[in-house]
Structure 1
Amino acid sequence: MSITVRMILAEKGRAVVTAKGDTSISEIATILHQNRIGAVVIVGRNDSIVGIFTERDLVGAISKHGAGCLSHPVSTEMTENVYRCDEGVSVNELMEVMTKRHFRHVPVEVDGRLAGIISIGDVVKSRIREVEQEAEHIKSYIAG
């Protein structure tokens, strides 16, 4: 049985730190720091995903525009074309996409609405647990 995004969300929860597009980049930096996270999902009406702003986006904005960009709305520097997945995606599929595209966070969308977020850490923990379970099954088979 393959572990899916739905299974990870059932275990870790569906809470996602979000903000609106008019939130300042400085406020987003504070949100990232206070929550000890690497990404904030930017939402529009009805919790639709309109962008994502990550630590990499913050560094890029400061690098391009200097500290003055901190007062700009996050919508000016967020990643708008957000890769997202649904709950039925397997961890192996998601790991492949995250590795190829260098993503560390993927929002989960259900019926056009934000339903959770998966980090690379979530994927790694899930995969480790899966490998440990496989090892236990093999040990049981050999011992039995």
Structure 2
Amino acid sequence: MTVKAILEAKGHAVVTLGPNAKLAEAIQLLADRRIGALVITNGDRKIVGILSERDVVRVVAKEGAAALELPVRAVMTPKVKICNANHTVNEVMEIMTNGRFRHLPVEKDGLLDGIISIGDVVKRRIETVEREAEQIKAYIATA
């Protein structure tokens, strides 16, 4: 299973925000959409960062309520790990596990093309394991 297959099933929609938006706006967007991260892009969907709930917690713990007025660019993670449509589920799991994060933007031709969450990866992995188990049961039953 590849990232391409996951995106074909779930779609390519990604919630994004510009780097000059205030953190308060980003937090409201995270809450309204019930998501754990925003991909920060410039006007042409070039990825410039990612803002996760962890980023928000860290800055609020350090700066208090004043953090809400900070621009997203001051809080986001600017060095974003990405994947592309050809990455496998196992490769994406390894990237997420090694980096200790739950969201991985998908890039195509240097622009944002989708996002994969740990939930997407786990769901696909479980489907694969269940399918393999059914195939083994069917094989044993016919032997």
State the Cα distance separating 1:140 from its structure 2 match: 1.0
**Letter aligned with residue 35 of structure 2:** I
Matched residue, 1:35: 33
Question: Does 2:42 correspond to 1:9?
Answer: no
**Letter aligned with residue 5 of structure 1:** V
Q: 19, 22, 33: which is aligned to 1:21?
A: 19
Structure 1 residues not aligned, in runs of 5+: none
State the Cα distance separating 1:42 from its structure 2 match: 0.3
| C-alpha RMSD of the superposition | 0.6
Alignment of 1:1-144 (within 5 A): 3-144=1-142
Structure 2 residues not aligned, in runs of 5+: none
**Letter aligned with residue 44 of structure 2:** N
Aligned length: 142
State the Cα distance separating 1:85 from its structure 2 match: 0.5
% identity of equivalent residues: 52
| TM-score using structure 1 length | 0.97
Hey, what's the Cα distance between the residues in 1 that align with 2:94 and 2:106? 16
Hey, what's the Cα distance between the residues in 2 that align with 1:23 and 1:123? 30
Question: What do residues 25-75 of structure 1 show as CA deviations (whole Å, max 9, x unaligned)?
Answer: 000000000000000000013100000000000001101211101011100
| TM-score using structure 2 length | 0.97
Hey, what's the Cα distance between the residues in 1 that align with 2:28 and 2:47? 21
Hey, what's the Cα distance between the residues in 2 that align with 1:77 and 1:28? 11
Hey, what's the Cα distance between the residues in 2 that align with 1:85 and 1:118? 9
**Letter aligned with residue 87 of structure 2:** V
Hey, what's the Cα distance between the residues in 1 that align with 2:76 and 2:98? 21
**Letter aligned with residue 112 of structure 2:** L
State the Cα distance separating 1:97 from its structure 2 match: 1.4
